[in-house]
Amino acid sequence: MQCALRPSSMVPAGFAVVSASTSESRTIIEVRSTTPASQCPGCGNVSRRVHSRYRRQVSDLPLAGRSVRLVAHVRRFRCDAVRCGQSVFAERFADGALAPWARRTGRLEGLVHHLGLALGGSINRRPASPAG
């Protein structure tokens, strides 16, 4: 039995598809967060007050031989906590979906990590011991 390709399987958890376009070599998928609020990384306070928005471009797993670029519509929130030093913060996404400042999704980062290990990389970052 053959399953149909669902759009939800192409985007990481916690995102909804806004639009999608395809060229010969690339697929561009615009996504937005599905959560109405975000937690401040400084104090943990949950905020719904949107300060501004920006677009963030990240790479994702290839689809049908084409590279995939996710364009995430990210919101900045205001933190209302009086003692919090962070007055404005960017929303955080579900664990493993998209880390702060990342240029690749968590699933692509995991694949790159495992490929590096398989091709002779090492998890440990110890300096080489001197030849004796």
User: Cβ(92)–Cβ(100) under 8 Å?
Assistant: yes
How far is it, in rounded angstroms, from Cα 131 to Cα 26? 48
In the chain, pLDDT over 70 holds for what percent of residues? 82
Indicate the DSSP class of residue 14. Answer: T
Q: pTM of the prediction?
A: 0.72
How far is it, in rounded angstroms, from Cα 101 to Cα 103? 7
E strand or H helix at 60, and its extent?
strand 50-63
User: Cβ(94)–Cβ(11) under 8 Å?
Assistant: no
User: Cβ(74)–Cβ(53) under 8 Å?
Assistant: yes
pLDDT at residue number 107: 83
Asked whether the predicted pLDDT for residue 1 surpasses 50, the reply is: no
Confidence of residue 129 (pLDDT cuts 50, 70, 90): low
How far is it, in rounded angstroms, from Cα 37 to Cα 43? 15
In the chain, pLDDT over 90 holds for what percent of residues? 17
